[in-house]
């Protein structure tokens, strides 16, 4: 096990993690899974540290969060050594912790982008699907391997289904076979598949475009998008209409409209 790492970055609180590295890089918080000897498998401790790091990052004034990993594998999913040692209540607790992490990734105000450099399987694939955006190296791969094993990928399939659609989900979940990064891009699981050498620049470029404008406006927009995605269209419109009307009164919206009308660059203060 790696020694504890003291985390300091911008206005983030100092924390100590065993399996996660956190660094502030300008307007971006970079959260890096650092359990390469276990293929970044998601034990209870690892999940708890990821949850704590996302919560801490969410409290900062950063505009973006990059989730990455050290080692040859992005994440091999749940740590079977941890799972096998638990009874029913213990496994339920572990999966609840994992679900809370996925929900937090989507609820923090920052834009969250996954930087995928290797294989992302099961709950690792779930992590990618739960991020707002994802860029992968061409050497990366994605799988829900439970279909050819003994423990089906029930919870990892939840966000994957919402990214790739029913038939492609069924192929992933029932066969358990991996897909390459180019296929993942075509299916909608990730935004970009790029040559390995271009991964970091592609992540930074997409994040820069996704974090432009008013921070408060972006946070409200992200929250509303997730709230309406799985609703019937009429309900989605009802929700979006009220939020958009209220958002028109926020400083960012007022500044954006004033800058457009006055033909000047906007000055974002929120």
Q: Give me the CATH number covering residue 222.
A: 1.10.12
Q: Which helix (H) or strand (E) holds 223?
A: helix 215-228
Q: Give 178-199 pLDDT, tens digit per residue.
A: 999 999 999 999 999 999 999 9
Q: Answer yes or no: is 2 within a domain.
A: no
Angle at alpha carbon of residue 161, lines to 38 and 238, rounded to 5°: 130
Q: Does the structure show a pLDDT above 70 at 4?
A: no
- In a shared domain, residues 223 and 243: yes
- Calpha distance 78→47 (Å, rounded): 9
For the entire predicted model, the pTM comes to: 0.91
Q: Does the structure show a pLDDT above 80 at 10?
A: no
CA distances from 188 to 129, 182, 213 (A): 9, 10, 25
For 77, the 3-state DSSP assignment is coil
- In a shared domain, residues 40 and 159: yes
- In a shared domain, residues 141 and 235: no
Q: Answer yes or no: is 14 within a domain.
A: no
- In a shared domain, residues 198 and 253: no
Q: Which residue has the tokens 């409200």?
A: 220
- Calpha distance 150→199 (Å, rounded): 34
Can you give the pLDDT at residue 15?
Answer: 59
Which of 65, 134, 114, 111 shows the shortest CA–CA distance to 213? 111
- Return mean pLDDT, the chain: 92
Q: What does the pLDDT average to over 128-150?
A: 96
- In a shared domain, residues 143 and 231: no
Which of 38, 180, 33 shows the shortest CA–CA distance to 115? 33
Can you give the pLDDT at residue 94?
Answer: 95
Task: Characterize 193-223 residue by residue with b for buried, 16 or more Cβ atoms within 10 angstroms of its Cβ, and e for exposed.
Answer: bbeeeebbebbbebbeebbebbbbbbbbbbe
Q: Does the structure show a pLDDT above 70 at 145?
A: yes
Q: Does the structure show a pLDDT above 60 at 5?
A: no
pLDDT range class, residue 115, cuts 50, 70, 90: very high
Q: Does the structure show a pLDDT above 90 at 230?
A: no
CA 34 to chain centre: 16
Total domain count, the chain: 2
Cβ atoms of 11 and 49 within 8 Å: the answer is no
Can you give the pLDDT at residue 14?
Answer: 43
Q: Are strands 192-194 and 133-137 parallel, antiparallel or unpaired?
A: parallel
Written as six digits, the tokens of 10 are 């911008």
Percent of the chain beyond pLDDT 90? 83
Q: Answer yes or no: is 101 within a domain.
A: yes
CATH number at residue 63: 3.90.226.10
- Calpha distance 179→3 (Å, rounded): 35
Alpha helix locations (H) across 35-87? 44-58, 80-84
* Number of CB atoms found within 10 A of residue 139's CB: 16
Q: Give 11-69 pLDDT, tens digit per residue.
A: 444 457 999 999 999 999 999 999 999 999 999 999 999 999 999 999 999 999 999 99
- In a shared domain, residues 199 and 239: no
pLDDT range class, residue 248, cuts 50, 70, 90: confident
Can you give the pLDDT at residue 154?
Answer: 95
């Amino acid at each position: 096990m790696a020694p504890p790492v003291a985390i300091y970055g911008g206005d983030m609180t100092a924390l100590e993690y065993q399996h996660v590295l956190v660094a502030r890089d300008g307007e971006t918080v970079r959260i890096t899974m650092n359990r390469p000897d276990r293929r970044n498998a998601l034990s209870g401790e690892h999940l708890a540290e990821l949850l704590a790091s996302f919560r801490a990052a969410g409290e900062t004034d950063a505009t973006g969060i990059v989730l990455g990993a050290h080692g040859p594998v992005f994440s091999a999913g749940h740590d079977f050594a941890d799972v096998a040692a638990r009874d029913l209540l213990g496994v339920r607790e572990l999966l609840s912790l994992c679900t809370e992490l996925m929900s937090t990734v989507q609820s923090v105000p920052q834009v969250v982008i996954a930087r995928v450099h290797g294989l992302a399987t099961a709950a690792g694939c779930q992590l990618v699907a739960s991020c707002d955006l994802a860029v992968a190296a061409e050497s990366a791969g994605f799988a829900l391997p439970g279909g050819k094993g003994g423990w089906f990928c029930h919870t990892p399939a939840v966000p994957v289904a919402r990214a790739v659609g029913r038939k492609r989900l069924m192929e992933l979940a029932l066969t358990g076979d991996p897909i390459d990064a180019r296929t993942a891009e075509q299916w909608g699981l990730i935004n970009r598949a790029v040559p390995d050498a271009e991964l970091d620049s592609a992540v930074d470029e997409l994040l820069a475009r996704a974090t432009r404008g008013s921070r408060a406006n972006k946070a409200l927009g992200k929250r509303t998008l997730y709230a309406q995605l799985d609703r019937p269209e009429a309900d989605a419109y009802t929700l979006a209409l009220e939020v958009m009307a209220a958002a028109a009164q926020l400083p960012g919206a007022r500044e954006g409209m004033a800058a457009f009308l006055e033909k000047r660059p906007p000055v974002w203060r929120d």
